[in-house]
C-alpha cells in the first residue's frame, strides 16, 4: 500500500502597518488561521511596535513603515493606519511588490483610489480593500440566495450602521478629525454602500443625501436615498453619535430577507410572500476577520491580483458613491 504524502502549504508571511484597534482585531483573528503568520509590525513609535509584537508573538517590530516595504521576508501587508494615510502606505508597499490588504475605506476619495489601483496594475501585485463583511458566511450565503432569485427582483433595501462615541471623545482622534478622514460615512457608511453595490451591482441613477455635522465639521449622522434602475431604491443611515439597530432589510417581488445585527451577527431570516419562513445561522469566528484573511491567503497563493469577492471595480464603485454623498 502506498501512503500519500501531503505537501506542506507555504505560510503567507504578513506584516501589519499600524498598531491601533483595527490592527489588534486583525492580528487576533489571524491567529485563528494555520496557513499564515505575522512576520513583522511597524509603528512610528518603537515602544508601541514592541508592545504589539510581544502581545501577538511577532518576530520583528519596526519603528518605520518603510522598513516593512524593505523587508524581503514579507509576502503581504495589512494597512491599518488612519484613512488619509492609506494611499501613501499602500503605494509604497505595492512598489516593493508586497500584496496588499488595505483596511476600508481604501482611500478617502475616488481620485486617490484610482491612483492606488493604477500602481497595483503597473506592479502586477495583489490589492484588495478590507471589506471583511463580504466574506462572512452570512453574507456569502446572502449572495447565493440573491443570485438564485430567492426573493425575486429586488425593489428595496434599507441598511443602517450606527454607534455612539463618548460625549468627551477626543476631537483630535481620527473619528472626529476631518483631516484624518473622520465622520460616519467613511467609518461605517461604507458598509451599507458596499451592501447596496453587492445587491444591485449597477451604480445608482441618483443619490440624495443629508448630513448632520458636529463641532469638528465631520458628519455625525448621514442619510442617503439611492435610486436604482428598474424602479428600485435604497435607504441608508450611518451614525457615530447614536446606537442604531444596524440591520439590513432587502425586499424583492417574492419576499424579503432580514439580517438583524447585520455586521456582527450570524443570523439571516428569509420570509416569502407565500408565508414560508426560513432562518439561517452561522458560526462566528473571532471578530470575523478570519474569513477575509483565509480568502486573501488563497488568492495570493493562486497568483490572483484581486479577489472576486471584493474586486477593485467594487471598491471604486463604492468610493464614487461616498464622494457623491460627501460632496452634497
Predicted local confidence at residue 4, as pLDDT: 42
Answer for the pair 35, 297: CB distance below 8 angstroms, yes or no: yes
Distance CA 151, CA 252 (A): 5
Cα–Cα distance list, 278 to 147, 235, 259, 270 (Å): 17, 25, 12, 5
Cα–Cα distance list, 246 to 101, 142, 288 (Å): 25, 17, 16
Cell of 235: 435607504
Residue 44: count of CB within 10 angstroms of its CB: 14
Report which of 96, 133, 113 is spatially closest to residue 15, judged by C-alpha positions: 96
Predicted local confidence at residue 321, as pLDDT: 97
Please check whether the two domains, 12-132 and 137-281, share a CATH topology: no
**CA quadruple 229, 233, 238, 244: dihedral, nearest 10:** -150
Answer for the pair 193, 204: CB distance below 8 angstroms, yes or no: no
The 3-state secondary structure of 22-40, one letter per residue:
HHHHHHHHHCCCCCEEEEE
Each domain of the chain, given as residue ranges in start order, spans: 12-132, 137-281
Fold classification of 137-281 is: Dihydrodipicolinate Reductase; domain 2 (3.30.360)
Q: Are strands 12-17 and 76-79 parallel, antiparallel or unpaired?
A: parallel
Predicted local confidence at residue 9, as pLDDT: 66
CATH of 12-132, one of 3.40.50.720, 3.30.70.2660, 3.30.390.50, 3.40.50.300: 3.40.50.720
Residue 229: count of CB within 10 angstroms of its CB: 11
Task: State the pTM of this model.
Answer: 0.94
Segment-wise mean pLDDT, segments of 10 residues, the chain, 328 residues? 50 97 97 93 97 98 98 98 96 98 97 98 98 97 97 98 91 90 95 98 96 95 97 98 97 98 96 97 90 97 97 98 94
Predicted local confidence at residue 285, as pLDDT: 84
Amino acid at each position: 500500500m502506498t501512503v500519500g504524502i501531503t505537501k506542506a502549504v507555504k505560510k503567507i508571511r504578513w506584516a501589519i502597518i499600524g498598531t491601533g484597534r483595527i490592527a489588534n482585531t486583525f492580528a487576533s483573528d489571524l491567529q485563528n488561521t494555520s496557513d499564515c503568520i505575522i512576520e513583522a509590525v511597524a509603528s512610528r513609535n518603537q515602544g508601541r511596535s514592541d508592545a504589539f509584537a510581544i502581545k501577538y508573538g511577532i518576530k520583528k517590530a519596526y519603528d518605520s513603515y518603510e522598513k516593512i516595504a524593505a523587508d524581503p521576508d514579507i509576502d503581504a501587508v495589512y494597512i491599518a493606519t488612519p484613512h488619509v494615510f492609506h494611499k501613501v502606505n499602500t503605494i509604497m508597499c505595492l512598489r516593493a511588490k508586497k500584496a496588499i490588504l488595505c483596511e476600508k475605506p481604501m482611500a478617502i476619495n475616488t481620485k486617490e483610489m484610482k491612483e492606488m489601483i493604477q500602481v497595483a496594475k503597473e506592479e502586477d501585485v495583489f490589492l484588495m480593500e478590507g471589506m471583511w463583511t463580504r466574506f462572512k458566511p452570512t453574507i456569502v450565503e446572502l449572495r447565493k440566495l440573491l443570485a438564485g432569485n430567492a426573493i425575486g427582483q429586488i425593489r428595496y433595501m434599507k441598511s443602517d450602521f450606527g454607534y455612539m462615541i463618548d460625549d468627551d471623545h477626543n476631537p483630535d482622534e481620527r473619528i472626529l478629525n476631518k483631516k484624518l478622514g473622520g465622520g460616519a460615512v467613511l467609518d461605517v457608511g461604507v458598509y451599507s454602500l458596499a451592501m447596496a453595490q453587492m445587491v444591485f451591482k449597477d451604480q445608482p441613477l441618483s443619490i440624495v443625501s443629508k448630513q448632520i455635522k458636529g463641532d469638528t465639521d465631520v458628519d455625525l449622522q448621514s442619510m442617503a436615498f439611492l435610486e436604482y434602475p428598474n424602479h428600485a431604491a435604497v435607504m441608508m443611515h450611518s451614525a457615530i453619535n447614536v446606537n442604531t439597530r444596524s440591520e439590513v432589510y432587502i425586499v424583492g417581488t417574492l419576499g424579503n430577507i432580514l439580517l438583524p445585527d447585520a455586521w456582527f451577527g450570524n443570523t439571516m431570516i428569509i420570509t416569502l410572500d407565500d408565508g414560508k419562513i426560513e432562518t439561517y445561522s452561522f458560526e462566528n469566528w473571532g471578530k470575523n476577520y478570519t474569513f477575509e484573511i483565509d480568502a486573501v491567503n488563497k488568492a495570493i497563493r493562486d497568483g490572483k491580483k484581486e479577489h472576486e469577492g471584493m474586486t477593485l471595480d467594487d471598491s471604486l464603485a463604492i468610493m464614487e458613491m461616498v464622494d457623491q454623498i460627501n460632496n452634497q
